[in-house]
């Protein structure tokens, strides 16, 4: 009788030791490993109708989609590209958009290719000059800007500003803003510096 219970007791110890090995050994570490989180590259804000394909956005986990400016701010503690759909404009958050550090992030207005209208009239970005625009003449597309800090903190300089008269797509905009985040696009054309496309 004692031998039988001793065998059961020994079996229980072997089983318990095996479970501990599974939880702490190589096999346990393999099962418990979590997928590496994808770094955020862009935050896209829209309200109502989105100019970009939501299906295409779902294929890019590096893009966070939000519906309020508060959510946009929450995801902007690290340097990311800020994509703002025309459906979320005119913006009442120009103070935040013109404050560091986010004023030095790549900013995209999705919906219009005219940079003056996009950044001065819809987003209220600093330091744009030019006459009022005829809204009936505006072309669809998207606009991109990258600003950097200068010796005057109230007057940032645009190192890149461009309007694109084409259908906006997730892939096209993501490629541009990724290049800006990596410092690959840093020059502004002379025409834009002179203000021909609504530049500074």
**Residues 136-171 pLDDT 10s:** 889 999 999 999 988 887 778 899 999 999 999 999
Rounded to 5°, angle at Cα 160 from 186 and 40: 80
Task: Record the pTM.
Answer: 0.77
Mean pLDDT of the chain: 83
Cis peptide before 101 (omega within 30 of 0): yes
Cis peptide before 90 (omega within 30 of 0): yes
Q: What band does 21 get if pLDDT is binned at 50, 70 and 90?
A: very low
Does residue 138 contact residue 112 with C-beta atoms inside 8 Å? Answer: yes
């Amino acid at each position: 009788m004692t031998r039988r219970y001793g065998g059961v007791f020994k079996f229980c110890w072997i089983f318990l030791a095996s479970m501990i090995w599974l939880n702490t050994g190589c096999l346990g570490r393999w099962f418990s490993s979590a997928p590496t989180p994808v770094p955020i590259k862009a935050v896209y804000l829209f309200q109502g109708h989105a100019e970009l394909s939501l299906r295409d956005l779902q294929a890019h986990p590096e893009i966070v989609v939000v519906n309020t400016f508060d959510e946009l701010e929450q995801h902007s503690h690290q340097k990311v590209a800020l994509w703002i759909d025309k459906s979320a404009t005119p913006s009442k958050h120009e103070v935040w958009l013109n404050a560091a550090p986010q004023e030095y992030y790549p900013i995209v207005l999705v919906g219009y290719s005219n940079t003056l209208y996009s950044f001065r009239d819809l987003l209220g970005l600093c330091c744009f000059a030019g006459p009022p625009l005829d809204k009936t003449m505006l072309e669809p597309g998207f606009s991109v800007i990258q600003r950097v800090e200068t010796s005057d903190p109230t007057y940032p300089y645009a190192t890149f500003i461009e309007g694109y008269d084409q259908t906006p797509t997730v892939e096209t905009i993501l490629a541009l803003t990724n290049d800006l985040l990596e410092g690959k696009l840093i020059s502004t054309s002379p025409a834009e510096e002179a203000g021909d496309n609504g530049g500074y």
